[in-house]
A and B are shown apart, each in its own frame.
Chain A
Amino acid sequence: MSRGRYVGIDAGSSATKCVVLDVAGDMLGQAVVPSGFDYAEAAAEALARAMAGVPLARRTVAYCVSTGYGRKNVRGADRQVTEITCHARGARQWYPQVRGIVDIGGQDTKVVWIDGRGELIDYRMNSKCAAGTGTFLESVAVRLGLPLTAIDELAMTSTARTVLNSYCTVFTGTEVIERIKAGEPRQDISMGLFRSIAARVFEMSAVRDGPLAATGGVVAHCRAMVRALEEIFGAPLLLPPLPQLAGAYGAALLAMELAGAEPVRAAERTADALGAAIPTEVRV
Chain B
Amino acid sequence: MSGTAKRIEIQAAQRLKTLMRDYFLDLDEAARDPARRVAWCTSVGPCEILVAFGFATYFPENHGALLGAKKISHQLIPYAVSAGYCAESCSYMNSDIGAAIRGVSPLQDAYGVGGPPKPDLLVYSTNQCREVQDWFNFFGRRHDAPVLGVCPPTHLGDVTPAHVAFVRGELAGLIERIESQFGLKLAPGKLEETVARSSQASTLWRRVLETAGARPATLSFWDGLIHMAPVILMRGSPAAVAYYRELLAEMHDRVAQGVGAVPKERFRVYWEGMPVWPRVRDLSEKCFDLGVSVAASTYCNSWAFDEYDGGDPLEWMARTSISIFINRDEATKQAFLLEMMRRYELDGIIFHNARTCPNNTNSRFGMAQRLRDRCGLAVLVIDGDLSDQRFFSTAQTMTNLEAFVEQLEARRRPACAALVEEVAP
Residues of A whose CB lies within 8 Å of any CB of B are 24-26, 69, 80-85, 89, 92-93, 96, 108, 117-125, 127-128, 206, 253, 256-257, 260-261
Contacts and interface: CB of A to CB of B under 8 A. Distances in A.
Interface of B: 369, 372, 379, 381, 383, 390-393, 395-396, 399-400, 402-403, 406-407, 410-411, 416-417, 419-420, 423-425
Nearest to A84: B403
Nearest to A118: B420
B369 A206 contact: yes
A119 B410 contact: yes
Nearest to B424: A93
Contacts of B403: 82, 84-85, 120, 123
Contact of A253 (B379, B391, B423): B423
B423 A118 contact: no
B406 A117 contact: no
B407 A119 contact: yes
B406 A26 contact: no
Given A82-B403, A127-B393, A260-B419, A122 B372 contact: yes
Nearest to A96: B424
B423 A257 contact: yes
Contact of A120 (B390, B406, B417, B419): B406
A92 B417 CA distance: 12
A125 B400 contact: yes
Contacts, number: 72
Given A24-B425, A119-B417, A257-B419, A83 B411 contact: no
A83 B419 contact: no
A117 B407 CA distance: 12
Chain A interface secondary structure, helix, strand, loop or mixed?
mixed
Of B390, B392, B393, the most chain A CB neighbours within 10 A belong to B393
Contacts of B424: 25, 93, 96
Contacts of B402: 80, 82
A256 B399 contact: no
Nearest to B395: A69
Given A84-B406, A128-B391, A121 B372 contact: yes
Contacts of B383: 127-128
A124 B419 CA distance: 26
A80 B417 CA distance: 20
Contacts of B393: 127-128
B396 A261 contact: no
Contacts of A118: 410, 416-417, 420
B417 A117 contact: yes
B417 A82 contact: no
B411 A119 contact: yes
Contacts of B400: 84, 123, 125
Closest CB pairs A-B (n = 6): A84-B403, A117-B417, A120-B407, A82-B403, A25-B425, A127-B383
A261 B399 contact: no
Given A25-B425, A256-B423, A261-B419, A84 B399 contact: yes
B327 to A, nearest CB: 28
Nearest to B383: A127
B406 A82 contact: yes
Nearest to A124: B381
Contacts of B395: 69
B61 to A, nearest CB: 25
Nearest to B413: A261
Of A26, A119, A206, A260, the most chain B CB neighbours within 10 A belong to A119
Given A119-B411, A127-B396, A85 B425 contact: no
Contacts of A123: 400, 403
Contacts of B399: 69, 82-84, 125
Given A82-B402, A128-B383, 5 more contacts: A82-B399, A83-B399, A84-B406, A120-B406, A123-B400
Contacts of A83: 399
